[in-house]
Structure 1
Amino acid sequence: MEGFSMSNLDNMVLVARSASQLLTVKISRLLGLKLVSVSFKRFPDGELYVRLLDSVEGCDVIVVQSTPPPQDSNLIELFLLVNGVIDQGANSVTAVIPYLAYARQDKAFLPGEAVSGRYICRMLCDCGVNKVITVNIHNTRVFDGLNVPFVDLNAAPLIGEHFKSFSLKNPIVLAPDEGACKEGEAVARILDCNFVFLEKHRDKYTGEIVTKEKHIDVSGSDVIIVDDIISTGGTVVNAISMAVKQGARAVHVACVHPLLIGDARLKIFNAGARSLVGTDSVPSDVSLISLAPLIAGALES
């Protein structure tokens, strides 16, 4: 990665905010980097106050902030932090955003739609960041035409390593739609097993999801369903139901970004999943796979 080498780690410092505090601590310990103290508070009207308590003058600052719900609040925190460290004389600013909100709106699906994912990336550039690091962004198309380097890391191999400790019988990796093929194929390579994917259609107006019926040879096998993002769980539930109906021995569900909105967990387990796991891009009770080694490796390589 341009601009990073072991020789300049001594000049790096880390800044974290609410959505990524524990992850940032883990990165700090892996790289031996200082954590900058920051004071945050909210005024009675809801506006956010940010103050850096340590000097960052001349430092290469790494701001770590994921942007899960509440997305808008987490994005404002990120923008204020980036501008704050620049105003305090930072030498450079890299924004590490494990989960980047709005990235699923990477194009106009209907006339007149705002391409919000691209606009968020433009705002980051306008803030003055020198680099942006994301993890398994839904579509890298949101980076097109920007004048700042964007790097997207792939956490799927970490999911594969997680399942290597399981006593799996004839494992098969299943992507619940074509958009998760990159993640599914990476997990299948790690586990040295077959990979299949399903096809889905989402109504542009209602958002209703229909998964196309497909015969998948899973009878007596352990199925690992891998997705990039699980939000309400509808797509994954359809895949679980299909695997169970076709005789899967057990169904495990994994994702990079476990948003798990509303009763998503309940729907996933009620559909027949035996386990559910995600990374700590989004803090949750299923975020058992840490991105810290992946991000630390990117920062020092």
Structure 2
Amino acid sequence: MNNPVLFALENDLPLHEPLQAAIGADAGEIDQRRFPDGESYLRILSPVRGRRCVLLANLCRPDKKFLPLLFLAHSLRMQGAIGVGLVAPYLCYMRQDKAFMPGEAVTSRIFAELLSTCVDWLVTADPHLHRYRSLDEIYTIPSRAISGMPAMQAWLAQQKGPLLLVGPDRESQQWVATLAKATGLPFIVGEKQRHGDREVSIKLPADDRITNATSVIVDDVISSGHTVLQTLAALRDVGAPRTICAAVHGIFAESADEKIRLAGTNLLATSNSIPGNHCAFDLAPLLAPAVQDLLASAGGSPHITRDHQT
């Protein structure tokens, strides 16, 4: 049994079956529930001794998910797994990358330290690297951060043109510029002014192409949706005839997707990194090579010796 074993703590993750097929994994089975006091019960049903294990985790809204993830990773080693890696297509706790005010917790570093003790390697997609140049600055385990843009590019090729790519702000410029270079499509980038956690305004450059094309708002993640909503309003004000919103990760806090649809966008599309109603393109073919590379290079788990000594 040389195939890895793929486990997930949630049922019906849209990436589960395609990733399992792409890496040639066997399905791992677990029994889990919560006790009346809210504590987690977990039992591994699949044999894992001498096998490499991969965890697929949806880390959107992570606080209730992290302890079960830790319990599963630790229990797999106790059952004899020779390695436990994590595929977290959406990587949480990346935005608080510095203390903006005295006393603030830099949660990106704290979470990275905890997760690095939990698993042997990490694969993710388009993490929010703003002040960090790479995950290696905060993670002490081997990590791979793939771009979801090729999957978005393939989806975009199916949309009717002419198309104009729109980056809401400077942070989105890296994604929209990459997508424009790959597709040959024109793009513009707006200027965002933030007035608070939930208040932003977007100013678009004057460009006649806005009124003669479908505007495709591109970003890495849609969370509260305020930036997208303001971009839609700015496009509407200058006469955009049709709009599409596309992002790698769709968090859609507080029903943001419904607000975006009600604001008049014609189509809303995300990858299948997070379960939802708008998953339109598949990250599994992009994640699989990174997973296979780490499975091949990781060998035995560096955590095993430590666990056996405790």
| Normalised TM-score (structure 2) | 0.87
Q: Does 1:94 align with 2:96?
A: no
Does the CA contact (< 8 Å) of 1:220 and 1:247 recur in 2? Answer: no
How many Å apart are 1:17 and its aligned residue? 1.6
Matched with 2:137 is 144
Compared CA separation, residues 251 and 68, structure 1 to 2 (3 A): same
**Mapped partners of 1:158, 1:131: distance in 2:** 23
Query: 2:33 is matched with which residue: 36, 41, 46?
Result: 41
| Aligned counterpart, 2:303 | none
Partner of 1:189: 181
User: What's the CA shift string for 1:236-294, capped at 9, x where partnerless?
Assistant: 11111112222223110011111111231232123221100111111001012121111
After superposition, where does 1:54-73 map in structure 2 within 5 Å? 54-69=46-61, 71-73=62-64
Tell me if 1:77 matches 2:68.
Answer: yes
Counterpart of 1:235 in structure 2 is: 227
Is 1:172–1:188's contact at 8 Å kept on the other side of the alignment? no
Cα distance in 2 for partners of 1:108, 1:19 equals 36
Output aligned runs, 1:92-241, within 5 Å.
Answer: 92-127=83-118, 129-139=119-129, 141=132, 143-169=136-162, 171-203=163-195, 207-217=198-208, 218-241=210-233
* Secondary structure at the counterpart of residue 13 of structure 2: helix
Deviation at 1:111, TM superposition (A): 2.1
The alpha carbon displacement at 1:20 in A equals 6.6
Deviation of 1:11 after TM superposition, in Å, equals 4.1
Q: Secondary structure at the match of 1:114?
A: coil
- Deviation for aligned residue 1:41: 0.6
| In structure 1, C-alpha distance between the alignment counterparts of 2:111 and 2:64, rounded to whole Å | 13
Q: Deviations over 1:202-243 (max 9, x none)?
A: 346x55323345324412111111111111210011111112
Aligned length, in residue pairs: 289
Q: Judge conservation of contact 2:94–2:107 (CA < 8 Å) in 1.
A: yes
**Take 1:32 and 1:126, find their aligned partners in 2: how far apart are those partners?**
26
**Deviations 1:64-102, CA, capped at 9 Å, x for gaps:** 102112x21122222222212122222112111111222
Q: Distance between the aligned counterparts of 2:50 and 2:206, measured in 1?
A: 59
Give the match for residue 297 of structure 2: none
CA distance in 2, matches of 1:22, 1:271: 27
Q: Which residue of 1 aligns with 2:246?
A: 254
- Deviation of 1:295 after TM superposition, in Å, equals 1.4
Residue 26 of structure 1 is matched in structure 2 by: 18
User: Does the CA contact (< 8 Å) of 1:19 and 1:282 recur in 2?
Assistant: no
Counterpart of 2:280 (choices 277, 284, 288) is 288
8 Å CA contact 2:3, 2:24 repeated in 1 = no
Distance 2:286 2:65 in 1: 22
Structure 1 unmatched runs, 5+: 1-8
Q: Residues 195 and 125 of structure 1: is their aligned pair in 2 closer, same or farther, counting only changes over 3 Å?
A: same
Distance 1:109 1:59 in 2: 44
Q: Identity over aligned residues, as a percent?
A: 30
Segment drifting more, 188-197 vs 250-259: 188-197
Over residues 139-169 of structure 1, what are the superposed CA-to-partner deviations in whole Å (9 max), with x where a residue is unaligned? 1726414321221110012111101111111
User: Aligned partners of 2:195 and 2:236: how far apart in 1?
Assistant: 25
Deviation at 1:180, TM superposition (A): 1.8
Q: Do the aligned residues in 2 keep the contact of 1:157 with 1:186 (CA within 8 Å)?
A: no
Alignment TM-score, normalising by the size of structure 1: 0.89
Deviation at 1:18, TM superposition (A): 0.8
CA distance in 2, matches of 1:62, 1:14: 5
Alignment of 1:267 with 2:277, yes or no, is no
